[in-house]
């Protein structure tokens, strides 16, 4: 099963992936956690290029290609092999982030982005996508206040950009409601975790009982 987490930066995706992975392991599942961009040696190198706040000359097209290069590598090296052996994969961001940020945020052609994503992923799509619903200003404030939080080039975009991204996510969710589940990310951490567990429990394959 392939589960992705989406939402604005500072919405708590990293924390909630860690908590969900721990819970799934208590249920007997083998779990792989990863993130985009990154998750592989090549992907981590690309991440450094993408998020370096000094790379102000990077164009949206360059950014989009780099994200999808990292994505192609993680799908080949991490995600597909894990899924093929029956593991659950939890990924912090996936293709929807490209549509939201590089599509709605920058206004790039979303049909072209969809074709590029299809090539990078080989058509792989998540079984479930959890959207942690946090107002962009709240998420950015959390990141700025958090000790050791990575403040990157995309975080430094305008508030208008981040609001366009949020609106983009709303459209993506409306277009595929069967795949998405929205969780109020402004609740206390444990309440968010319990809401996620309730959603995931209803989507786990029957084989989960056999793995306990």
* pLDDT tens per residue across all 212 residues of the chain: 999 999 998 899 999 999 999 999 999 999 999 999 999 999 999 999 999 989 999 999 999 999 999 999 999 999 999 999 999 999 999 999 999 999 999 999 999 999 999 999 999 999 999 999 999 888 878 877 765 567 778 877 888 999 999 999 999 999 999 999 999 999 999 999 999 999 999 999 865 544 44
Rounded distance between C-alpha atoms, residue 188 and residue 121, angstroms: 34
Domain boundaries, the chain: 2-211
Contact 115, 166 (CB under 8 A): no
End-to-end CA distance of the chain: 17
Please give the pLDDT value at position 210: 47
The pLDDT value given to residue 178:
97
Rounded to an integer, what distance in angstroms lies between the CA atom of residue 44 and that of residue 33?
Answer: 15
Looking at the domain that runs over 2-211, which CATH code has it been given? 3.40.50.300
pLDDT given for residue 31 in this prediction: 98
pTM for the structure as a whole: 0.92
């Amino acid at each position: 099963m392939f589960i992705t987490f989406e939402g604005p930066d500072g919405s708590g995706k990293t924390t909630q992936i860690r908590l969900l992975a721990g819970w799934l392991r208590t249920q007997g599942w083998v779990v792989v956690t990863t993130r985009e961009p990154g998750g592989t040696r090549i992907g981590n190198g690309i991440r450094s290029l993408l998020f370096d706040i000094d790379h102000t000359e990077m164009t949206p097209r360059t950014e989009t290609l780099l994200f999808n290069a990292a994505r192609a590598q993680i799908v080949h090296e991490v995600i597909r092999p894990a899924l093929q052996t029956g593991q659950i994969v939890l990924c912090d961001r996936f293709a929807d982030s490209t549509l939201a940020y590089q599509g709605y945020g920058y206004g790039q052609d979303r049909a072209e982005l969809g074709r590029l994503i299809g090539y990078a992923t080989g058509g792989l799509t998540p079984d479930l996508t959890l959207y942690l619903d946090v107002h962009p200003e709240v998420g950015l404030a959390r990141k700025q206040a958090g000790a050791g939080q990575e403040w990157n080039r995309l975080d430094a975009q305008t508030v208008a950009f981040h609001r366009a991204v949020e609106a983009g996510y709303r459209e993506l969710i409306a277009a595929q409601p069967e795949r998405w589940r929205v969780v109020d990310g402004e609740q206390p951490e444990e309440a968010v975790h319990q809401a996620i567990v309730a959603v995931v429990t209803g989507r786990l394959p029957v084989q989960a009982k056999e793995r306990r």
